[in-house]
Chains A and B, each alone.
Chain A
Amino acid sequence: GENVEQHPSTLSVQEGDSAVIKCTYSDSASNYFPWYKQELGKGPQLIIDIRSNVGEKKDQRIAVTLNKTAKHFSLHITETQPEDSAVYFCAASENTGFQKLVFGTGTRLLVSP
């Protein structure tokens, strides 16, 4: 089955800096890669996703890149703000039907003012 690894486990940056979180996956059949932000005591919130037919997707300060050959994808947050502080999870699944998501281990991002 699919296995998703995520690094780093914690990331501390200064406000205004960029943050990059990386994930690798094992199943070449996976073709849908979402990123979630989870605040304390709440459910995960989808922030951006990418499908295997594109290599990069951007939404304002957030971007995701995908390298299918190397089986890794990354989340890029630019101009970080204190409210970006949260736990971020990557995930992978097959896009067909309703295949289950396999999550990475999470990255705790702390943005200091």
Chain B
Amino acid sequence: GAVVSQHPSRVICKSGTSVKIECRSLDFQATTMFWYRQFPKQSLMLMATSNEGSKATYEQGVEKDKFLINHASLTLSTLTVTSAHPEDSSFYICSARDPGGAGTEAFFGQGTRLTVV
């Protein structure tokens, strides 16, 4: 299946700093990518839909100024957690759908474990 690569896999940062997470589609072009957040032992909660060349669409309750999304190319979307605080500590996962695949399967990155200290 298609490959979505996410980097870094783990990051520890100090409160007040910003962290950037990258999501790349390695063997297909993704006009749309999705960013999820997952707390321990819970399901995936969609944060925003990233659209290449336009503004991201945020889910209700997600602060767009805190979680900056940039989808500058067809293979790269980035999520920047600005002014991070301990409550932002979580597992962040991106996904992309392969428009050229057998269907519209969504493939997920490996996830990024963010710890804010």
- Interface residues, chain A, CB within 8 Å of chain B? 32, 34, 36, 41-46, 49, 51, 89, 95, 98, 100-106
The answer to whether A98 touches B97 (Cβ under 8 A) is yes
Q: Does A34 lie within 8 Å of B44, measured CB to CB? A: no
- The 8 Å CB contact of B6, one of A43, A103, A104, is A43
Given A43-B93, A104-B43, A106-B43, check contact A34 B106 (CB 8 Å).
yes
- Which residues in B have their C-beta under 8 angstroms from that of A44? 44, 93, 108
Contact of B110 (CB < 8 Å), options: A34, A43, A106: A43
B25 at the interface (CB under 8 A from A): no
Query: Which chain A positions have C-beta within 8 A of B105?
Result: 34, 46, 49
Q: Is the C-beta of B54 less than 8 angstroms from some C-beta in chain A?
A: no
Asked if residues A43 and B109 are in contact (CB atoms below 8 Å), the reply is yes
- Asked if B7 is an interface residue, CB under 8 A from chain A, the answer is no
Contact A32 B43 (CB under 8 A): no
B15 to chain A, nearest CB (A): 24
Complex-state Cα separation, A18 to B74, whole angstroms = 42
- Separation in Å of the A6 CB from the closest CB of chain B? 8
Q: Does B61 contact A (CB under 8 A)?
A: no
Listed by A's residue number, 17 A-B pairs whose Cβ atoms lie within 8 Å are A32-B104, A36-B108, A43-B93, A44-B44, A44-B108, A45-B108, A46-B1, A46-B105, A46-B107, A49-B103, A89-B44, A95-B103, A95-B104, A101-B95, A101-B106, A102-B46, A106-B41
> A105 CA to B42 CA in the complex, in Å?
7
Report Cα–Cα, A104/B45, bound state, in Å.
10
Residues of B within 8 A of A34 (CB): 105-106
Q: Is B49 part of the binding interface, using a Cβ–Cβ cutoff of 8 Å?
A: yes
B31 at the interface (CB under 8 A from A): yes
Complexed CA–CA distance, A16 and B3 (Å): 31
- Do B93 and A100 have beta carbons less than 8 Å apart? no
If A95-B104, A98-B31 touch, does A105 touch B111 (CB 8 Å cutoff)?
Answer: no
A44→B6 CA distance, assembly (Å): 13
Considering only CB atoms, which chain A residue lies closest to B106 in the complex? A101
Check if B64 is an interface residue, CB within 8 A of chain A. no
Assess the B104–A43 pair: CB atoms within 8 A: no
